[in-house]
Amino acid sequence: MNKFIRVDMTTMKVTTEEVPAKYAGLGGRALTSNFINDEVKPTCHALGKNNKLIFAPGLLSGTTAPNSGRLSVGGKSPLTGTIKESNTGGSFSQKMAKMGIKALVVEGMPSDDKYYVIKIDIKGVTIDEAPAEILGGCGNYRAIEVLSEKYGEKVGIGLAGPAGEHRLPSANISFKDPEGNIRSAGRGGLGAVMGSKRVKAIVIDDTGAGAVAVADPEKFRAAAKVFAKAILDHPVSGQGLAAYGTDVLINILNEAGGLPAYNFTAGRIDHNDNICGETLNAVITERGGEGKVSHGCHAGCIMRCSQWYPDKQGKYITSGFEYETIWGLGADAGIKDLDEIAYIDREMDDIGVDSIETAVAVATAMEGGLLPWGDGKAVLEAVKEIRTATPLGRILGSGTSVVGKVCGLYRTPVVKDQGIPAYDPRPVKGIGLTYATSTMGADHTAGYCISGNILKVGADIDPLKKDGQIEYSRAMQIGTAAVDSTGMCLFVYFGIADNPGGYQALIDMINAQYGISLTAEDVDKLGESVLKVERAFNKAAGFTNAHDRLPEFFEYEPCPPHNVVWDFTPEEIDEVYAFEKEEALNS
Amino acid sequence: MNKFIRVDMTTMKVTTEEVPAKYAGLGGRALTSNFINDEVKPTCHALGKNNKLIFAPGLLSGTTAPNSGRLSVGGKSPLTGTIKESNTGGSFSQKMAKMGIKALVVEGMPSDDKYYVIKIDIKGVTIDEAPAEILGGCGNYRAIEVLSEKYGEKVGIGLAGPAGEHRLPSANISFKDPEGNIRSAGRGGLGAVMGSKRVKAIVIDDTGAGAVAVADPEKFRAAAKVFAKAILDHPVSGQGLAAYGTDVLINILNEAGGLPAYNFTAGRIDHNDNICGETLNAVITERGGEGKVSHGCHAGCIMRCSQWYPDKQGKYITSGFEYETIWGLGADAGIKDLDEIAYIDREMDDIGVDSIETAVAVATAMEGGLLPWGDGKAVLEAVKEIRTATPLGRILGSGTSVVGKVCGLYRTPVVKDQGIPAYDPRPVKGIGLTYATSTMGADHTAGYCISGNILKVGADIDPLKKDGQIEYSRAMQIGTAAVDSTGMCLFVYFGIADNPGGYQALIDMINAQYGISLTAEDVDKLGESVLKVERAFNKAAGFTNAHDRLPEFFEYEPCPPHNVVWDFTPEEIDEVYAFEKEEALNS
Residue of A nearest to B398 (CA): A406
Domain that holds residue B196: 3-204
Backbone φ, ψ for residue B379 (5° rounding): -65, -40
CATH of the domain at A149: 3.60.9.10
List chain B residues with CB under 8 Å of A167: 407-409
Supply the mean pLDDT for chain B. Answer: 96
Asked if residue B379 has pLDDT above 70, the reply is yes
Is B121 a domain residue? yes
Facing residue for A405 by CB, picked from B44, B402, B408 = B402
pLDDT band at B581 (very low <50, low <70, confident <90, very high): confident
Q: What amino acid occupies position B205?
A: D
Q: What amino acid occupies position B160?
A: A
Q: Which of B239, B315, B307, B314 is nearest to B279 (CA)?
A: B307
Cβ-count burial of A289 within 10 angstroms (0-12 exposed, 13-18 middle, 19+ buried)? Answer: middle
Q: Which helix (H) or strand (E) holds A231?
A: helix A217-233
Q: What is the 3-state secondary structure (H, E, C) of A28-65?
A: HHHHHHHHHHHHCCCCCCCCCCCCCEEEEECCCCCCCC
What sign has the CA pseudo-torsion A21, A478, A535, A486? positive
The Cβ of residue A439 has, within 10 Å, a number of other Cβ atoms equal to 27
Peptide bond into A561 cis (omega under 30): yes
Instruction: Please indicate, yes or no, whether the overall pTM of this predicted structure exceeds 0.90.
Output: yes
Dist CA B14 CA A118 (whole Å): 66
List chain B residues with CB under 8 Å of A391: 370, 390-392, 394-395, 406
3-state secondary structure of B76: strand
Distances in Å between the alpha carbon of A277 and those of A318, A375, A490, B94, B345?
15, 21, 20, 66, 55
Q: B107-141 pLDDT, tens per residue?
A: 999 999 999 999 999 999 999 999 999 999 999 99
Is A16 a domain residue? yes
Dist CA B525 CA B478 (whole Å): 8
Mutate to test the interface with B, among A406, A555, A569 (most CBs of B within 10 A): A406
What sign has the CA pseudo-torsion A325, A331, A334, A339? positive
pLDDT at B299: 86
Chain B nearest C-alpha distance from A153 (Å):
33
Q: Which residue has the higher pLDDT, A303 or B167?
A: B167
Chain A nearest C-alpha distance from B235 (Å):
43
Dist CA B429 CA B467 (whole Å): 10
List chain A residues with CB under 8 Å of B406: 168, 391, 394-395, 397-398, 402
Is residue A551 within 8 angstroms of chain B, CB to CB? Answer: yes
Q: Which of B387, B55, B390 is nearest to B193 (CA)?
A: B55
Chain A nearest C-alpha distance from B545 (Å):
7
Mutate to test the interface with B, among A80, A405, A538, A550 (most CBs of B within 10 A): A405
Mutate to test the interface with B, among A45, A367, A410 (most CBs of B within 10 A): A410
Alpha helices in B40-99 (DSSP H): 92-98
C-alpha count within 13 angstroms, C-beta hemisphere, residue A579: 18
Q: What percent of chain B has pLDDT over 70?
A: 99
Chain A nearest C-alpha distance from B547 (Å):
6
User: Residue B464's Cα: distance from chain center in Å?
Assistant: 27
Is A523 a domain residue? no
Record: contact A402-B397, CB cut-off 8 A: no
Residue of A nearest to B41 (CA): A552
- Residues A442, A418 contacting (CB under 8 angstroms): yes
Max Cα distance, chain B (Å): 65
Q: Which residues pair with B157 in a beta bridge?
A: B203
Is residue A48 within 8 angstroms of chain B, CB to CB? Answer: yes
Facing residue for B546 by CB, picked from A395, A541, A551 = A541
Is B151 a domain residue? yes
Is A112 a domain residue? yes
Averaged pLDDT, B198-225: 97
Dist CA A505 CA A223 (whole Å): 5
List chain A residues with CB under 8 Å of B398: 402, 405-406
Is residue A552 within 8 angstroms of chain B, CB to CB? Answer: yes
3-state secondary structure of B445: helix
Averaged pLDDT, B460-480: 98
Record: contact B547-A542, CB cut-off 8 A: yes
Dist CA B296 CA B314 (whole Å): 20
Mutate to test the interface with B, among A394, A566, A573 (most CBs of B within 10 A): A394
Is residue B331 within 8 angstroms of chain A, CB to CB? Answer: no
Dist CA A202 CA A360 (whole Å): 29
List chain A residues with CB under 8 Å of B196: 408, 410
- Residues B554, B425 contacting (CB under 8 angstroms): yes
- Residues A464, A429 contacting (CB under 8 angstroms): yes
Q: What is the 3-state secondary structure (H, E, C) of B213-248?
A: CCCCHHHHHHHHHHHHHHHHHCHHHHHHHHHHCHHH
Is residue A197 within 8 angstroms of chain B, CB to CB? Answer: no
Report A:407-426 residues touching B (Cβ under 8 A): 407-410, 412
List chain A residues with CB under 8 Å of B48: 410, 552-553
Record: contact A409-B47, CB cut-off 8 A: yes
Chain B nearest C-alpha distance from A566 (Å):
14
- Residues A116, A198 contacting (CB under 8 angstroms): yes
Is residue B188 within 8 angstroms of chain A, CB to CB? Answer: no
Is residue B384 within 8 angstroms of chain A, CB to CB? Answer: no
Is residue A110 within 8 angstroms of chain B, CB to CB? Answer: no
Asked if residue B586 has pLDDT above 60, the reply is no
Backbone φ, ψ for residue A158 (5° rounding): -120, 140
pLDDT band at B582 (very low <50, low <70, confident <90, very high): low
Is B177 a domain residue? yes
Is A174 a domain residue? yes
Chain A nearest C-alpha distance from B94 (Å):
32
Chain B nearest C-alpha distance from A355 (Å):
17
Record: contact A395-B390, CB cut-off 8 A: no
Averaged pLDDT, B59-67: 95
Domain count, chain B: 1
Is residue B47 within 8 angstroms of chain A, CB to CB? Answer: yes
Q: What amino acid occupies position B111?
A: S
Q: Mean pLDDT in each 10-residue stretch from start to end of chain A (587 residues)?
A: 94 97 96 98 98 98 94 98 96 96 98 96 97 97 98 97 98 95 96 98 97 96 97 92 93 98 98 97 96 89 93 97 97 98 98 98 98 98 98 98 98 98 98 98 97 97 98 97 94 92 96 96 96 98 98 98 98 95 58
Facing residue for B45 by CB, picked from A392, A395, A551 = A551
Is residue A569 within 8 angstroms of chain B, CB to CB? Answer: no
Is residue B75 within 8 angstroms of chain A, CB to CB? Answer: no
Is A164 a domain residue? yes
Residue of A nearest to B544 (CA): A542
List chain A residues with CB under 8 Å of B547: 542
pLDDT band at B583 (very low <50, low <70, confident <90, very high): low
